[in-house]
Amino acid sequence: MSKNSLPVFIAVSCLGISSIITQITLTRELLNIYQGNELVIGFIISFWLILTGVGTFLGRYQFHIKFILVHSLILTALIPFGQLLLLRLFRNTIALPGSTLELFTLFPMILLIMFPYCLLSGYLLPIACALFKKQSGQRHIGRIYFVDNLGDILGGLLFSFLLVFIMSSFNALYVPCLLNLTAALIICITSKYKKTFFYIIAIILFVIASTRFGLDETSISWLFPSQHIIQKEESVYGRLVVTKDAEQLNFFENGVPLASSHNQLIAEKTVHFSLSQVSEDNLNVLLISGGLTGAIQEIQKYPVRKIDYIELDPVLIQLTRQFAPTTFSQYVEVHITDGRKFINESKKKYHAIIIALPAPVNIQLNRFYTLEFFIALKQRLHPGGVVSFTLPGAENYYPLPLVQLYRIIHSTAKNVFSHVKLYPGGETVFVLANHKLTNSISDLLTRKQIKTSYMNQYYMKSKLSKDRVDEINNMLKGTGEINRDLYPTAFRTQLKYWGLFHQVNFNWLWGFLIAVSLLLFLFYRPIESVLFTTGYISIAMEIILIILSQASSGYVYYKYGLFITIFMTGLAAGSYLSSRKNHNSIIKIKNRLLYLELGLIITIGGLIFITAIPLLWKQETILFLLVFCTATLTGSEFAWAGQYRCAHKPPGASSLYTADFLGAGIGSLLTSALFIPTLGIQNTIFILLCVKLTGFLKLWKFS
């Protein structure tokens, strides 16, 4: 690498590190202030990619290139702090504290806050290509793509395996900030920008001094007005906050109320509808989450021998021990793991399995309501054992999406358990068993001498009145769809319920995105169409492979960083290998692109075959290999597309990056929030195959 190109190399690498850390940090923050599902996450990623694509499009307008590069690096170092502070400030400015943000309030806010950073980071890529061009010839686009991916790899590794364990999200932003400012300093030294050099030194000193201002703690307090924050803990799974309001303690996980002290009714409903119907003594009970609600204390009112308590986040266990110490006794054994993974690997039998998890509002939670999971639960039950969980309910009126959710879960459970009973109320409790279940819960509690504060005969008479029971039984008439790991119908229905709550019909949005995709594909030149479809299918394949890993081996958070790193490594390897030599023959370059297109088509076909055989898609080595193959072919294709564009006409890095980002942005949203919930994973893969075939045919016939 030449002396002149080294500063550009460093700048683009720092930009890649900064971009990936900033994206992860802001996504985590958005999920903290707004309860997220795949739709929200899909919107965030899609907005990020599309806005970055707009920046790369504007990169075709270039002037004072080094001056722009230096000052853009300064801005990308500082803007993320402003983004995060504005998110926290606006949360309770645009909506009442504690209320749910409306979608049409949230999304314009996301767009406005993300816009400056994404625009600049996207704009810098074509700028860097222009600076790098003299040293690399027509390979410059592929080389910048490689360097940017190298920065993404380093950023993903740095955040996922170091920063997330030792820093809060806010403080993690200091790392990319100082890296970008250092890169700007290096360019100033090599370009002899003396005034800017001292200006950057002053900014670095101010940034270092700002670590003493306590901005993180102060801005978090904006999210909890009128409450006193008594403890804040950051874990790899998110942020846990404990607040005090009068005499009540409130526990928040990722901004969502998790539990409150003095809320005995929730604990009683979680436990007694199911455990009162177990006739044996010396009970083995499995509780998946729910320790902070007081469920363990209620379980210990029965003659238990052992309680296995499962919680994914060790920090949550720490808070439970600190604020609810009576929860733990000699009967309780804590397991810090994923609930489904524990069920799949354990050989122990239980008299009751109580699942205190939220409804299937995302694909991660949907795993606890599928046919495959219910089969695993049945294998872990003693004869006469019960399983219970709680779903959202209603006092008087049940909206249609909620009724559909009940039917799906009921039909799925009935395929495994002979008896499935629903207990209505503010929340609806499902109890599953292979023996007859009863509505006479208060009689059972009296007979067993179980003392309760709320679930007495008067409460039961109100909640389990004949009209309420008849109403919920009538809802279940008819056959519901089956919820499966690879066909998450419950999550799809929960999305409808979520959309109804926000008074939003997403059909117009899906129609608009599909129409835009078709128009872009039709009006793009063949080479841009190829990159548009490749960006679309590569990110969709990554999403699908992550979901498959999640379904087979439990919560994928620890492995998410590994998936991202493998994907970015594949992109970097492909772009590097394909940009080592200049090729001037358009025919040869086109043939290489066609071979790469066939490689992607074969990879998608391989995934179709693998998903048909559970023994294969449950092997993580195969999933990692598919991620790497998809990414390597994608990176190689981008590098060859750069050479094709240079050989065919004047360089067009801007148009290539734009096509890639737009395809990835639209693909991430449609795949995660429309195709997988609606059609299932296997049908979604067929759609990806069709998308890639159209790109191949357009390149073959019209280029």
Which whole number is the average pLDDT over 159-178? Answer: 87
pLDDT at position 160: 78
- Please check the confidence at residue 413 and state whether its pLDDT lies above 90: yes
Range in 189-203, 320-334, 503-517 with the lowest mean pLDDT: 503-517
- Please check the confidence at residue 104 and state whether its pLDDT lies above 90: no
Look over the chain and give the mean of its residue pLDDT values, rounded to a whole number: 84
pLDDT at position 1: 52
Which whole number is the average pLDDT over 151-162? Answer: 84
pLDDT at position 187: 86
pLDDT at position 359: 86
Alpha helices in 415-482 (DSSP H): 441-447, 457-463, 466-475
Going through 393-426 in order, the beta strands assigned E by DSSP cover: 419-423
Which pLDDT tens digit goes with each residue over 437-483? Answer: 998 888 899 899 998 888 888 888 888 888 888 888 888 887 778 99
- Band the pLDDT of 537: cuts 50, 70, 90: very high
Of 64 and 435, the one with more pLDDT: 435
- Band the pLDDT of 24: cuts 50, 70, 90: confident
- Please check the confidence at residue 54 and state whether its pLDDT lies above 70: yes
- Band the pLDDT of 382: cuts 50, 70, 90: very high
Q: Which residue has the tokens 């890169």?
A: 183
Q: Find how far residue 224's CA is from the centre of its chain.
A: 24
Q: Which residue has the tokens 């949550």?
A: 316
pLDDT at position 504: 64
DSSP string of 212-244, one letter each residue: TS-HHHHHHHTTSTTSEEEEEEEETTEEEEEEE
Which whole number is the average pLDDT over 16-44? Answer: 76
pLDDT at position 649: 55
Q: Which residues contact 110 (CB under 8 A, 6 or more apart)?
A: 30, 43, 44, 47
- Band the pLDDT of 36: cuts 50, 70, 90: low
Which pLDDT tens digit goes with each residue over 71-83? Answer: 889 999 999 999 9
Structural contact between residues 700 and 595, judged by C-beta atoms closer than 8 angstroms: no
CA distance 288 to 308: 8
CA distance 52 to 48: 6
Token pair belonging to 696? 């191949």
Structural contact between residues 226 and 97, judged by C-beta atoms closer than 8 angstroms: yes
Which pLDDT tens digit goes with each residue over 194-234? Answer: 788 888 999 999 999 998 888 998 988 888 888 889 988 88
pLDDT at position 57: 85
Length of the chain: 703
Alpha carbons within 13 A on the beta-carbon side of 513: 23
Which pLDDT tens digit goes with each residue over 233-256? Answer: 888 777 888 998 877 888 887 777
Coil vs helix vs strand at 262: coil
pLDDT at position 275: 94
What predicted TM-score, i.e. pTM, was given to this entire model? 0.84
- Please check the confidence at residue 21 and state whether its pLDDT lies above 70: yes
- Among 155-159, 247-251, 540-544, 604-608, the range with the most confident prediction by mean pLDDT is 604-608
Which whole number is the average pLDDT over 187-193? Answer: 80
- Band the pLDDT of 595: cuts 50, 70, 90: very high
pLDDT at position 503: 64
Three-class DSSP labels, 633-689: HHHHHHHHHHHHHHHHCCCCHHHHHHHHHHHHHHHHHHHHHHHHHHHHHHHHHHHHH
- Band the pLDDT of 304: cuts 50, 70, 90: very high
* Backbone φ/ψ region at 456: left (φ over 0), alpha (ψ -120 to 50), beta: beta
> 556-563 contacts: CB < 8 A, separation 24 or more?
556/364, 557/236, 557/237, 558/236, 559/620, 560/160, 561/156, 561/157, 561/159, 561/160, 561/161, 562/160, 562/624, 563/624, 563/627
Which whole number is the average pLDDT over 486-501? Answer: 78
Of 260 and 696, the one with more pLDDT: 696
- Please check the confidence at residue 337 and state whether its pLDDT lies above 80: yes
Domains and CATH numbers, the chain: 1-220 (1.20.1250), 221-258 (no CATH), 262-482 (3.40.50.150), 506-703 (1.20.1250.20)
Could you tell me what percent of the chain has a pLDDT over 70? 89
- Band the pLDDT of 34: cuts 50, 70, 90: low
- Please check the confidence at residue 417 and state whether its pLDDT lies above 90: yes
- Band the pLDDT of 386: cuts 50, 70, 90: very high
Of 254 and 334, the one with more pLDDT: 334
pLDDT at position 543: 86
Q: Which residue has the tokens 């394909």?
A: 578
Of 457 and 487, the one with more pLDDT: 487
Q: Which residue has the tokens 């790369």?
A: 56
**CA–CA distance from 627 to each of 142, 371, 391, 438, 516 (Å)?**
20, 27, 35, 50, 27
Of 105 and 420, the one with more pLDDT: 420
